[in-house]
Structure 1
C-alpha cells in the first residue's frame, strides 16, 4: 500500500479551499459582480471621472515612490541585519515587524504628529521649506512605513542562505566589492526583491488607515483611491464604490502577475548560471 505524504490530505485540502473561498474568493467575487451590474458606459464614466483619475494618479505615483524608497532602504536594512552584529540588533529586527502589528490608524496619527509643522520631524523640515503632513509627501511616508517589512522579510532569508563560497571565489578572482554585489549577489536576490517590491507596491495601493490622517484628503490633490471608495460607500453608492475599487484590484492583480512572470524568468536564469 502506497503511503501518503500528507495524512488526511482530502480533509486539509477541503478546509483550505473552503477558507480561501470564504475569505478571498467570495469578497472579490462580490466586488466584481457589483461592478459588473453597471453597464460599460456607466462603469467607464465612473472610473474615468476627473476626481477618480486624480486619485489614481496620487495613489499610484505615491506608491511607486514609496516602493522605490523601500527597495533601496529595505535591501540595506536586510543586509545590515544579516551581515553585521551590533548592540540592539534584535530590537531593530523586531521593530521591522512593527507596521504589521501596529493598527494603521495609530500609525497614521503617530506619523501626523511627528511630521506636522510643529512636530519633532516636521518642524526642522518646515524650517527649510519642506512640508510633509497634508501633502503628497506625507502619503509617500505613510506608504513607505506600512510596506517596508515586505521587502525586508522577503530578502532577509535569501541573504542568510547565500553560500559564502560564491563571494570568496569572486574575491579570489579579483572582483571588487561592488562587482561581487552586482554580478554575484544581486542576481541571486532578484526573485526575492521582485516579490518584495510587488507586495510592497500592492500594499501601498490599498493602504487606508495610515494615510487618511496625514494626507489632508483634498480632492484632486491628496485624495487616494481607497478614500474615494470609502466616500462612495458612505453615500450608499455601492456600484460606484465597487467600480473604483475594481481599478485597484485590477492594478494589483496585473502587478502581481507580471512580477510572478519576471520571478520565474529570474529563477531560470540563476539555475542555468
Structure 2
C-alpha cells in the first residue's frame, strides 16, 4: 500500500501529513459547555463576591469572622473524619467481597450500593428515622435507660448520613482495585514467613493506595459540598453549605454567599488536585 500524499501548506508546498489538524474541532462542544456552565458562572460568582459593600474583604471575612471560620473548620473536620472512617470500613468490606464467594453475594453487594440511588434529603430522613426524636435508637434507649438518645440533628447525625452514602462509592472502587492485585506477590510473602498482618500492610495496602487516595478525595469533596442531608438535619448543624444557604436566602447577603462558595470550591479543588498528584495520575511535564 502506498503512503498517503502529503498535505500541502497554505503556500501550496507539500508538507508533512497532518491527519489531526482538525481534531480540535471535536473539542468545541465540550469547551462551549465548559464556558457556559462553569467558566462564566464562576467568573460572575467571583465578581459578586468582590462587589459587596466590603469589596474583596468579604473573602477575608471567611477566616476572620468567628462564625464563618467555625463553619469552615467544622466542615473540614467532619469531612476528614467521614473520609477516614469510610476508607477503613470500605477497604475491609471491599477486600472481603472481592476475595470470597458465597451464596447471596450479589444481593449483598447490591444492598450495600443501594444508597447511591438516594438523594441527600432521603438520606437525612433515614438518619432521623434511626436517631431522631421518634427514631429507633431513641425508642430502644428510652426502654433500656429511661431516656431517649437523640443525635440526628447534630454533627454526629450528619456524620452518620455522610458515612451512609460515602461507603458504597469507596467499596466499588476498592473491589475494582483489588481485582488487579497479583496473588503471587502475597503467596511469595507468605512463603518467606510473613504473617497475614504483615502481608496486608506490606503488599495489599501499597497496591490499593492510589485507589484509596482517589476515592478518599472524592469522598472528602462530596462531604464538603453536600447540602441535602445537612438541610434535612439542620437544627443544630453549622457547616459551610448551610452557611452559604442562610447568607443567600435568609439575609440576602449575596457577596458573602459568593465568597463562601468560592472558598468552598477552592478547598475542594486543592483536595482533588493533591489526591491526583499523590495517586500518581498527574500528567508529567514534557520538555
- Give the TM-score band, short-chain normalised: 0.7 to 0.9
Cα distance in 1 for partners of 2:35, 2:57 equals: 31
Offset of 1:20 from its aligned partner?
Answer: 3.0
Which stretch of the first structure deviates more once superposed, 8-17 or 121-130? Answer: 121-130
Contact 2:62 2:69 survives alignment (8 Å): no
In the alignment, structure 1 residue 83 sits paired with structure 2 residue 102: no
Cα distance change of structure 1 residues 99 and 24 upon mapping to structure 2, 3 Å threshold: farther
In the alignment, structure 1 residue 169 sits paired with structure 2 residue 183: no
Higher relative contact order (CA 8 A, sep 6+): 1
- Structure ranking higher in helix proportion: 1
Aligned match of 1:105: 121
Contact 2:79 2:220 survives alignment (8 Å): yes
Offset of 1:11 from its aligned partner?
Answer: 4.4
In the alignment, structure 1 residue 160 sits paired with structure 2 residue 179: yes
Give the number of aligned pairs. Answer: 262
Cα distance in 1 for partners of 2:106, 2:18 equals: 43
Normalised by the length of structure 2, the TM-score is: 0.81
Which stretch of the first structure deviates more once superposed, 77-86 or 63-72? Answer: 77-86
Cα distance in 2 for partners of 1:36, 1:96 equals: 45
Q: C-alpha offsets along residues 195-232 of structure 1, whole Å, 9 cap, x if unaligned?
A: 1111101100001111222242x3xxx21110110111
For residues 136-151 of structure 1, what are the structure 2 equivalents within 5 Å?
136-151=155-170
Cα distance change of structure 1 residues 241 and 154 upon mapping to structure 2, 3 Å threshold: same
Normalised by the length of structure 1, the TM-score is: 0.85
Contact 1:146 1:204 survives alignment (8 Å): no
What secondary structure does 2:233 align onto? Answer: helix
In the alignment, structure 1 residue 210 sits paired with structure 2 residue 225: no
For residues 215-226 of structure 1, what are the structure 2 equivalents within 5 Å?
215-216=234-235, 218=236, 222-226=237-241
Offset of 1:190 from its aligned partner?
Answer: 0.7
Q: Which aligned runs of 4 or more in structure 1 are off by greater than 6 angstroms?
A: none
Aligned match of 2:7: none
Aligned match of 2:130: 114
Aligned partner of 2:40 among 9, 17, 26: 26
* RMSD, aligned CA: 2.7
Cα distance in 2 for partners of 1:107, 1:148 equals: 13
Q: C-alpha offsets along residues 30-49 of structure 1, whole Å, 9 cap, x if unaligned?
A: 32232233533343235532
Which stretch of the first structure deviates more once superposed, 52-61 or 36-45? Answer: 36-45
Cα distance in 2 for partners of 1:205, 1:137 equals: 15
Aligned partner of 2:50 among 19, 36, 59: 36
Q: C-alpha offsets along residues 96-129 of structure 1, whole Å, 9 cap, x if unaligned?
A: 4333321211111121111114312343456578
Offset of 1:10 from its aligned partner?
Answer: 3.7
Contact 2:75 2:240 survives alignment (8 Å): yes
Aligned match of 2:266: 250
Larger Rg: 2
Offset of 1:58 from its aligned partner?
Answer: 2.0
Cα distance in 1 for partners of 2:62, 2:189 equals: 56
In structure 1, the gaps of 5 or more residues are 269-273
Contact 1:59 1:224 survives alignment (8 Å): yes
